[in-house]
Amino acid sequence: MTAGTNPYTNPTARRAYLSREARLRQLPSIERDLVRLGEMPDLNRWLEQIHATGGCAEPVYLTGHTTTLDADTGEVLRYYSTATEPGGRLAVRCRNRRATRCPSCSREHSGDTFHLVRSGLIGGKGIPDTVRTHPRLFVTLTAPSFGPVHRAGTCHPARRRHCEHGRRHGCGRTHPDTDPLIGQPLCADCYDYPGHILWNAMAPALWKAFRDNLYHHIAARTGVGRTAIRKLIRISTAKVAEYQKRGAVHFHAVIRLDGPDGPASPPPPWATADLLLETVHSAAAAVALPRPESAAYGDGRLSFGTQLDAHPLTNGDGGRLTDDAVAAYVAKYTSKSAETAGAVDRRITDLAEIRALRVTPHIRALIATAWGLGELPELQHLRLRAWAHMLGYRGHCLTKTRVYSTTYGRLRTDRAEHARTLAGVRDLYADWGADTTTESAWRFAGTGHTVAEALIAAGIAEDLATNREIAREDVERSERPGGTR
């Protein structure tokens, strides 16, 4: 800065500077923030960083350094430090899978889920493509009724009789798909709220019982012992949890029959898709776990609902359930959560917060029930307060057996090289080479964007999504019969 333009030494420059500051102060905050960003000396580098996070809505900022050394000689091979980055910090992805929290990271997670489910269906990513000859089903398991709720389309037929609360358990109307009434109980006082919350909370245990039953029932049908059956076949699954409008969890799952060594080994000839299909029905129907004991509600058993869908996935069956469609269907649900049922996407901290939530009376009653039950010493193991915002369900969104297919970790590693190149920080992460050592120190330096930053990040995320969409359409076109490869 020359003396003539320095506002500290030159009165004219000072006047210009001060009047500019005054003008800036009068701008609305977002415009002021945009001006600030625009004047950032290392704006381009900041844009590169945000681009590398895919336009993450809630990036995590880190400060620190990494040194890669030759393990033998101790010679410094690479050195990276955030000291030269804008603000001395580096942005990394938040990795939140929820679309309501971060559209970009959620999209990336959905993409990973798609590849993870797809490779278990048709091979790839380390899975042999012979898996497509194994018996495979797409199954939907639902919760039972906890009381009648308004249904999409033709609702329950109108009834004369009233319940003890003076309400009819029939509505007689036709609800369009967007009707907010769908999923709301016909009588909230009759509705079994504790039963509903306990079912959601126990859903992972119900699923485990179902999987065990699958082995037992296949053993019984084929006259093989319960221990011996696990040496002959392996049942590989990938399932995703979804919320229905009424707030009950249900599962969509791919179930595959493998030989004893997983995807690389063919199942025995008697282990057919028909056998699996019959067993899925009997195994689900046989699940009945006792409710955790408590004086706060009656006893009873937790079972699956009678509504069970199971479709065999066959090769090239002319437009019915295709492998890609199933993978896409499952992936779609991992970006959603209890929000699809109108619940909230973060933890609840107290009762006052539940009262203030902008949710339907039904969802509020479910959250309040989970909160109330969460106080009981006998239900501590279900951690219902921590999972009240998930309506009691504390399972992962997507779970798979170990050998179903690849993992999120491996998919991320595959992609990391590309991302590092994009970010221009290839040296940041550990070198995979065997003869190097890495010394690093990292510190959390904050999270999130200012208003203007958020606006720019959202634009970047949108651009990337559009580009990906175009690229996918190109691939689909080239993979169509007769298309160019």
Amino acid occupying residue 164:
E
Element (H, E) at 41: none
Mark the segment that binds Zn ion (CB under 5 A) among 79-87, 99-107, 212-220, 369-377.
Answer: 99-107
Would you state the structure tokens that stand for residue 370, as one six-digit string?
A: 């989970």
x-marked contacts with Zn ion along 170-189 as a string, rule CB under 5 A: -x---------------x-x
- Pick the closer one to Zn ion by CB: 211 or 449: 449
By DSSP bridging, strand 289-290 and strand 249-258 are unpaired
155 binds Zn ion per the rule CB under 5 A: yes
- Pick the closer one to Zn ion by CB: 50 or 238: 50
Helix (H, G, I), strand (E, B) or coil at 162: strand
Listed residue (235, 211, 215) closest to 304, CA to CA: 211
- Pick the closer one to Zn ion by CB: 250 or 449: 449
Would you state the structure tokens that stand for residue 346, as one six-digit string?
A: 């973060």
- Pick the closer one to Zn ion by CB: 128 or 459: 459
Mark the segment that binds Zn ion (CB under 5 A) among 158-166, 354-362, 385-393, 417-425.
Answer: 158-166
- Long-range contact pairs involving 161-168 (C-beta distance under 8 Å, separation at least 24): 163/187, 163/189, 163/190, 164/190, 165/189, 165/190
Burial of 95 (C-beta count, 10 Å sphere; 0-12/13-18/19+): middle
Q: What is the nearest approach in angstroms of Zn ion to the Cβ of residue 405?
A: 25
Element (H, E) at 47: helix 43-52
Residue ranges in 105-134 that form contacts with Zn ion under rule CB under 5 A: 105
The whole-angstrom separation of Cα 309 and Cα 325 is 16
Amino acid occupying residue 337:
S
- Give 447's strand partners: 60
- Pick the closer one to Zn ion by CB: 56 or 202: 56
The whole-angstrom separation of Cα 119 and Cα 331 is 13
Listed residue (150, 279, 278) closest to 213, CA to CA: 279
- Of the candidate residues 163, 285, 359, 376, the single one contacting Zn ion (CB under 5 A): 163
Q: What is the nearest approach in angstroms of Zn ion to the Cβ of residue 173?
A: 5
Mark the segment that binds Zn ion (CB under 5 A) among 55-63, 203-211, 215-223, 411-419.
Answer: 55-63
- Of the candidate residues 13, 35, 47, 190, the single one contacting Zn ion (CB under 5 A): 190
Number of chain positions touching Zn ion (CB under 5 A): 13
Q: What is the nearest approach in angstroms of Zn ion to the Cβ of residue 277?
A: 33
165 binds Zn ion per the rule CB under 5 A: yes
Q: What is the nearest approach in angstroms of Zn ion to the Cβ of residue 374?
A: 25
CB 149 within 8 A of CB 184: yes
Mark the segment that binds Zn ion (CB under 5 A) among 95-103, 435-443, 455-463, 470-478.
Answer: 95-103
161 binds Zn ion per the rule CB under 5 A: no
94 binds Zn ion per the rule CB under 5 A: yes
Give contact residues for Zn ion (rule: CB under 5 A): 56, 93-94, 102, 105, 150, 155, 163, 165, 171, 187, 189-190
